[in-house]
Amino acid sequence: MNIETDKLKQLLTDILTTPSPTGSTYKAINYIKSYLEELKVSYVETNKGGLIATIEGENNSYQRTISAHVDTLGAMVKNIKPNGKIGICQLGGYMFESIECENCIIETLNGKNYSGTIYTTKPSVHIHGNDARELKRSQENMELILDEKVFSKEDVQKLGINIGDFIFLDPRTKITESGYVKSRHLDDKASVAVMLYAIYHFVKNNVKLPFTTNFYFTIYEEVGHGAASSIPENTQEFLSIDMGAPGEGQNSSEYDVCICAKDSSGPYDLEFNKKLLSLCNENNIGYKIDIYPYYGSDASCALRAGWDIKTALIGTGVYASHSYERTHMDGIINTLNLTLLYCQSK
């Protein structure tokens, strides 16, 4: 397929740099709304705040739904300490080591933004010696230091910061000349970019799909209920585009589309996976099959919620998932090509 790589990279950069921690996804959702409106693609907003864009196909009674989740990892203000430092609580399942010394933004309820950095409570070896090295990286030992002259709880509160305010982690997005994509939140914004480009491709080229296809942008996947509701009722096949997880003992790769045979929820639909594998083999799409024991997706969430649908899970391989992540444009493009071919298949 002829992919406009620069456009794909721009979509990827735009969505990666738009903050959307789970529970505060409105900025990314508004970006997607504007994008769909520009393409004149119809969409509905769910009560929870997700978006479902629909491209009508020849068969409307047998529909396909494809999902990617817009929500990411993040944090919230848990408490404000007497010295003006801020205790945090995490959103999503990451290691606290992965956010140590990370720049961030606090957004208050009235929309003001304040920058800061997340440190341990013993950040300096010159002060704490080996205690700084050996301190357990856990929620109670992490704190946010504001880039403001604050020395007390009252100073912080005067800024409008309060318990429950959302904290956006700096994504530090970079695409190298050699094609590597390094950023926080590639899980799952690489897949969001794939879906946005797929919609663009079908509209621009006036592609008539064999089945009505819904593109579901969910917003609570990181906390387990992204696709638990609102799946269009005629959906027969549900494809979750998320990520593969390369690493020790795994078969996944940053350069291929990864097809999940089984995750923590059990096996995915065998016939569905066979179809995806056939599309890869027939069209020279690089792929890897893998099993993820500590993983769940929107598709597995939908099954747990009781939806009677066939499910599959694909995605580019994302190294160091739930940390500062890395993938390659090859893997994203392979995922996109499989998505485009699947949507056009009968």
Q: pLDDT (tens digit, 9 = 90+) per residue, 141-156?
A: 999 999 999 999 999 9
Active site residue 56: no
Contact residues for 171 (Cβ-Cβ < 8 A; gap 6+): 16, 17, 183, 184, 185
What burial letters (b/e) apply to 43-57, b meaning 16+ CB within 10 Å?
Answer: beeeeebbbbbbbeb
Listed in sequence order, the residues at least 6 apart from 336 whose beta carbon sits closer than 8 Å to its beta carbon are 1, 3, 8, 194, 197, 198
Bridge partners for 290 per DSSP: 260
Share of the chain above pLDDT 70, in %: 100
**What's the whole-number average pLDDT of the chain?**
98
Is the model's pLDDT at 23 over the cut of 80? yes
Q: What is the C-alpha separation between 315 and 245, in angstroms, rounded?
A: 9
Alpha-carbon gap, residue 48 to 122, rounded angstroms: 39
pLDDT tens per residue across span 287-336: 999 999 999 999 999 999 999 999 999 999 999 999 999 999 999 999 99
Residue from 102, 107, 143, 221 carrying the catalytic annotation: 221
Per-residue pLDDT tens over the stretch 24-56: 999 999 999 999 999 999 999 999 999 999 999
**Full-prediction pTM beyond 0.95?**
yes
Residue range 66-114, pLDDT digits in tens: 999 999 999 999 999 999 999 999 999 999 999 999 999 999 999 999 9
């959906």: which residue's tokens? Answer: 235
Residue 50 has, within 13 A of its CA and on its CB side, a CA count of 27
Mean pLDDT of 165-182: 98
Q: For residue 191, what pLDDT band results from cuts at 50, 70 and 90? A: very high
Report whether pLDDT(135) > 80: yes
Q: Which residues is 195 bridged to in the sheet?
A: none
CA distance 94 to 186: 14
Going by pLDDT thresholds of 50, 70 and 90, the confidence category of residue 1 is confident
Q: At what angle do helices 186-204 and 26-39 cross, to 10 degrees?
A: 10
Q: How far apart are CA 263 and CA 295, in angstroms?
A: 6
d(Cα 60, Cα 179) in Å, to the nearest integer? 39
DSSP code at position 140: G
Q: What integer pLDDT is reported at residue 9 of this predicted model?
A: 98
